[in-house]
Amino acid sequence: MLNSERIRWPNGAKCAVLISFDVDGPAVWIEGEREAWHRPRTFSLGGYGPLRGVPRILDLLDEVQVPGSFYVPGWVAENWPSQFRDINLAGHEIGHHGYLHEVYAHRTLDEFAGIVTRAQDAFVANGADPAVGFRSPGGDFRDGNHRILEELGFEYSSSMRGDDRPYRWVVDGRTTDLIEICAHWELDDFPYWGFNDEPADPVSQDRIAGLDWVYDNWKREFDGYYAEGLCYTLMMHPQVIGKPGRVALLRKLIRYMQEHEGVWFATAKQIADWWRETY
Amino acid sequence: MSVQENLRDSGVSWPDGARAATVITVDLDAELFWVQLDPVSKERPKTLSLGEYGPNRGIPRLLSVLSDYEVSATFFVPGAVADRYSETLRAIDRAGHEIAAKGYLPSSFVHFDNEEQRDSLRRSIAAIERATGKRPRGFRSFDDIDGSTLEILVEEGFTWTSVLAGDDRPQVQLVDNSGAATLIDIPSLWELNEFRYFGFNYGPAMPAGQNRPASYARVAADWKDEYDAYAEARASFVLTLDPQSIGKPGRISILREVLEHIRNRGDAWFTTAGELADWWRDSSYAKIPEGAAEPIRRRTIRQIDTER
């Protein structure tokens, strides 16, 4: 689709906004060499997400009447079952995010398929439907992952960075019904605010970003996406955005977006379904 | 902020009484930026997609803003990107912008021997000619250069570079036996390089320390302050942008804001790097300035070699 071509959104909406959360919990600190199993403080940093972040976010989404897409590792669903059920019962979408936030670039395709199934089983055991949406945890995935997702019946992915409107995945040269909804580092809370001293994250131990500056960046991006009629994807983590001051920032941003006419707040599945029917 | 105070004026009389020669330069490395950073990126579709955003979405948005402000820019394109995105290159060329070379792959000339440098330059010239039918005259390296690179560039037909960082106006690097300038550098400075503020990825990590992406408002304010001070100093204001980064729907607002500011002041000479180099060569300023870094580097190295 050319840049000059204006996207048709449902009911004449001017742009789409996806409010999404990766409910990583401590799992994000476990993948790789991070050894959070043996570091209670680091573990608790992640645990803040499901324990405090998720309820605060659910309250906010209820207040502003906006749906969210929550990508939850299977292990998090098993260990924070009441928060997991609350997300599901509130009518938000639950999507796939590994079993323990595995980086798929480091896993074989067979391992990948096993992880996907294990997490789906965790969702079903905790009262949710199997996910139809997939977000690759942390770093990169590998060629071939999306062929397996298609075979397993997934309907969309939200893992790439290369576009500001949805598109159809091309798998083995075939254009498929698997839709991609890209995210972007500048619309992710972790690069701005994620922090730990040991293991060090970020490696440079750079200072935590200013609330006002992140708000301004996200607002400017919204202004651009709105003007051009694109798909604005906020990708956040309850352990990061779920702090009192940052949830207040998110409330202010959503209120700002709601002042605009024709903003379609939708789950990723709704956006993917629309795209598949329309394009 | 009073950055304009007590600055030494360059004394340069830019065309039409302008206060600052102003050049927008663009690095179009696309996904090859990430492959160069770490070859593992070749097997990482998500990381590659960061770079693919540049030609696919960033370039059209950038061209549209440049057209709104009637600015002709200079695009530095690795030969491999010219081959892969030849239609994009033709669109840039058709819009009246200048296209300059960056080697074939975005690889470091520091680690190339002379033959490898020549080979990379020749292949990059051929790729840009294949796409646009025009031979590039200017060159920017991906990172630093080798001690022999400047001479090799002249021998391969280049007349200007945008590689060095030791000045805030064009600087003659090489002269022939008659003292006429054979290579002029248009310096590109880190604080005016957009990708250094915003480029980001977790793995492979960029920046290596995974420092925070900067504030859009802060960068826009800094660049406007810098421009004001450049105009006060009658220097040349050279911005460096990467479409995979500045070309985002919101980030492009920084460029609009800065161009709007410069246009409202009405004292810029908007030009391309190649035009600026040509103008400088034909002006009375086309001399190697006293204290320029490159002659001192060469002299000292010879001295060290002699003493050894």
pLDDT at residue B56, as a whole number: 96
User: Could you give the angle at which helices A211-228 and B216-233 cross, rounded to 10 degrees?
Assistant: 90
Chain B residue numbers touching A185 (CB-CB < 8 A):
50, 200-201, 213
CA distance A85 to chain B (A): 31
Provide φ and ψ at B264, rounded to 5°. Answer: -65, -35
Nearest CA to A140 among B139, B252, B42? B42
Radius of gyration of the CA atoms of chain A, in A: 18
The reported pLDDT for the residue numbered B1 is: 39
Question: What digits encode the pLDDT tens for the residues B13-54?
Answer: 999 999 999 999 999 999 999 999 999 999 999 999 999 999
Q: CA angle A67-A71-A73, nearest 5°? A: 150
Taking CB atoms and an 8 Å cutoff, what residues of chain A touch B247?
none
Q: In Å, how far is B255's CA from the nearest CA of chain A?
A: 12
Verify whether the Cβ–Cβ distance A140 to B56 is below 8 Å: no
- Check if A203 contacts B (Cβ < 8 Å): yes
Residue B3's pLDDT band, with cuts at 50, 70 and 90, is: very low
Per-residue pLDDT, A4: 74
Which residue, among A1, A140, A158, would best test binding to B if mutated, counting the most B CBs under 10 Å from its CB? Answer: A140
Q: Which amino acid is at A27?
A: A
Q: What is the pTM of this model?
A: 0.94
Q: B253 to chain A: which residues are within 8 Å by CB?
A: 220, 223-224
pLDDT recorded at residue A33: 58
What is the 8-class DSSP label of residue A207? P
pLDDT tens digits, one per residue of B236-266: 999 999 999 999 999 999 999 999 999 999 9
pLDDT reported for residue A32: 61
Question: Which A residues, 111 through 140, put their C-beta within 8 Å of a C-beta on chain B?
Answer: 136, 138-140
Q: Do A221 and B250 touch (CB under 8 A)?
A: yes
Full pLDDT tens readout for chain A, 279 residues: 667 789 999 999 999 999 999 999 999 988 665 677 888 889 999 999 999 999 999 999 999 999 999 999 999 999 999 999 999 999 999 999 999 999 998 899 999 999 999 999 999 999 999 999 999 998 788 889 999 999 999 999 999 999 999 999 999 999 999 999 999 999 999 999 999 988 889 999 999 999 999 999 999 999 999 999 999 999 999 999 999 999 999 999 999 999 999 999 999 999 999 999 999
- Convert chain B into a string of H (helix), E (strand) and C (coil): CCCCCCCCCCCCCCHHHCCEEEEEEEECCCCHHHHHHCHHHHHCHHHHHHHHHHHHHHHHHHHHHHHHCCCCCEEEECHHHHHHCHHHHHHHHHCCCEEEECCCCCCCHHHCCHHHHHHHHHHHHHHHHHHHCCCCCEECCCCCCCCCHHHHHHHCCCCEECCCCCCCCCEEEEECCCCCEEEEECCCCHHHECHHHHCCECCCCECCCCCCCCCHHHHHHHHHHHHHHHHHHCCEEEEEECHHHHCCCCCHHHHHHHHHHHHHHCCEEECCHHHHHHHHHCCCCCCCCCCCHHHHHHHHHHHHHHHC
In this predicted structure, the answer to whether residue B126 has a pLDDT above a threshold of 70 is yes
pLDDT for A205: 94
Nearest to B248 among A159, A191, A221 (CB): A221
pLDDT-above-90 percentage for chain B: 93
pLDDT of residue B4: 44
- Inform me whether the pLDDT recorded for B7 exceeds 70: no
Report how far apart, in Å, the C-alpha atoms of A27 and of each of A33, A45, A68, A73, A112 are: 12, 11, 21, 8, 17
Which residue is closest to A200 within chain B, CA to CA?
Answer: B209
Provide, as residue numbers in chain B, all residues whose Cβ is less than 8 Å from the Cβ of A162: 48-50, 52-53, 56-57
Q: What mean pLDDT value characterizes chain B?
A: 95
Which residue spans within chain A are E strands per DSSP?
15-22, 68-72, 93-96, 133-134, 156-157, 167-171, 174-180, 231-236, 263-265
pLDDT at A2: 62
Q: Which of A105, A192, A222 sits opposite B212 (nearest CB)?
A: A192
pLDDT of B2 over the 50 cut: no
Task: State how far residue B259 is from chain A, nearest Cα, in angstroms.
Answer: 17
Closest chain A C-alpha to B44 CA, distance in angstroms: 6
Distances (CA, A) of A257 to A34, A61, A66, A221, B257: 37, 14, 11, 11, 22
Average pLDDT over residues B191-209: 95
Among chain A residues, CA nearest to B216: A217
Shortest Cα–Cα distance, B54 to chain A (Å): 8
Q: How confident is the model at residue B9 (pLDDT cuts 50, 70, 90)?
A: confident
Q: Do A217 and B250 touch (CB under 8 A)?
A: yes
